[in-house]
Amino acid sequence: MQADPVKYPTVQVGDRTFTVKFRTGDVIRLKTDHNIDLGEQVTVKGAEALSRTLLILQSGIAHQAAVTVEELADAIEYAQIPEINVAIIEAISKVTAQAIALQPRMNAITAQAQALAKTSEVTKQ
């Protein structure tokens, strides 16, 4: 297996350091379980913003640790929230940058698949 060339951000939670990285399943679970779409910009304030940040962080570190939102809330100082938000935004932007870079290749693969499907359809007739 090849190492991931992307350098993801890290956050300190208590005495542990976690890499913030979103897997496909993490993104899907955020949407289905918490109605949080990482592709949407929303404005939230106060406790709702804190809760949302911790839910997203929990998802972004799930590949390393099974911690609850409550455990994160108890381990994270309030002053760390801006740093955590920056790490989350950076981790999301890493995925977005990769998706943009892969788009031409994905378009080419889609075009090839469509051409093969047309050729197959013509052959059947």
- Per-residue pLDDT tens for 90-115? 898 877 655 555 556 666 666 677 66
Higher pLDDT pick, 104 / 65: 65
* Residue type (1 letter), 34: H
- Give me the chain's average pLDDT, please: 81
- CA separation, residue 53 to residues 2, 31, 80, 99, 113 (Å): 31, 14, 11, 23, 40
What band does 12 get if pLDDT is binned at 50, 70 and 90? very high
